[in-house]
Amino acid sequence: MNSQASLFQYILKIADNQLILGHRLSEQCSKGPFLEEDIACSNIALDLIGAANSLYIYAAAIEGENKTEDDLVFLRSERAFRNVLLVEQPNTDFAYIMCRQFLFDTYDYFFQLALQKSKDETLAAIAAKTIKESTYHLRHSGNWIIRLGDGTAESNTRLKAAFTNLWCYVEELFEQDAAELDLVAQGIAVDTQLIKSQFNSHIAEIMQTAGMEIPTGIFMQSGGKKGVHTEYLGFLLAEMQSVHRSFPGVKW
């Protein structure tokens, strides 16, 4: 892969995570447990999709094939999406949704902090913008982990189940392929191995406050970054892309 092609793939990895998680969270709109929380989830979904939009505009320019951000979002098929498996997991109960957000928010916070120092000026500028939002996203989900873990027996049980079910997707967040390592060497990409200890210590601190234990002995899953997804992504894309594919080029 030449360097423009690897940069393109790298931007897609970042943007696809935000888009897919943003879309998942937007499915919660009007289904929140109470009004303020419904607004919170919709707000966060908007931030994530907005940040992804900035990245897709940049990715389309790097790819240089006269495509737009909409082409990248609505006309790629499942195997071309580079998001991690964690973000495509479906909404079940509120503890599960917040656990998914918390794991991603923690990763994303330290990732965006580091990406601000990228030698790629556009990525660094978008990260400097995104970090302001990632900060309150993490404050929000971290707060919920503590409330649910330290709440009732029911909320504690549900949160424990959520962590047990979602922990298998943690390792993939830090996976790097050869092309990405090459970008790390050039000072463009974030060396995810270097943010792993910050991730672990924040997770440990919040989970301890919440009275939760980090699951052990979990077999780690991966594949999303290579385009091999769980069955849930296909359904998400089918819904997200249906209007654009039914009415090509439609504008409103």
Partner 1 sequence: MVKILHAKEVSFIWDILNEIPDPEIPVISLVELGVVRGVEWVDTQLQITITPTYSGCPAMRMMEMDIEQSLRKEGITDFKIAMQYHPAWTTDWMSEATKSKLKTYGIAPPQAHTKQRIGVLISDAPTEVACPQCNSVNTKLISEFGSTACKSLMKCNDCLEAFDYFKCI
Of 10, 81, 96, 109, which lies in the binding site for partner 1, with binding defined by CB under 8 A? 109
DSSP, res 224: G
Stretch that binds partner 1, among 46-54, 161-169, 175-183, 184-192 (CB under 8 A): 46-54
Residue number, 58 or 167, with CB nearest to partner 1: 58
Residue number, 67 or 129, with CB nearest to partner 1: 129
- Within 126-165, the residues that bind partner 1 by CB under 8 A are 126, 128-130, 132-133, 135-136, 138-140, 142-143, 146
Is residue 198 close enough to count as binding partner 1 by CB under 8 A? no
- Separation of alpha carbons 243 and 251, rounded Å: 11
Sign of CA dihedral 155, 157, 163, 168: negative
Sign of CA dihedral 180, 184, 186, 188: positive
Task: Quickly list DSSP for 99-160.
Answer: HHHHHHHHHHHHHHHHHTT-SSHHHHHHHHHHHHHHHHHHHHHHHHHHHHHTS-HHHHHHHH
From the CB of 138, what's the least distance to partner 1, in Å?
4
List contacts with partner 1 (CB under 8 A). 22, 36-37, 39-40, 43-51, 53-54, 109, 121-122, 124-126, 128-130, 132-133, 135-136, 138-140, 142-143, 146, 202
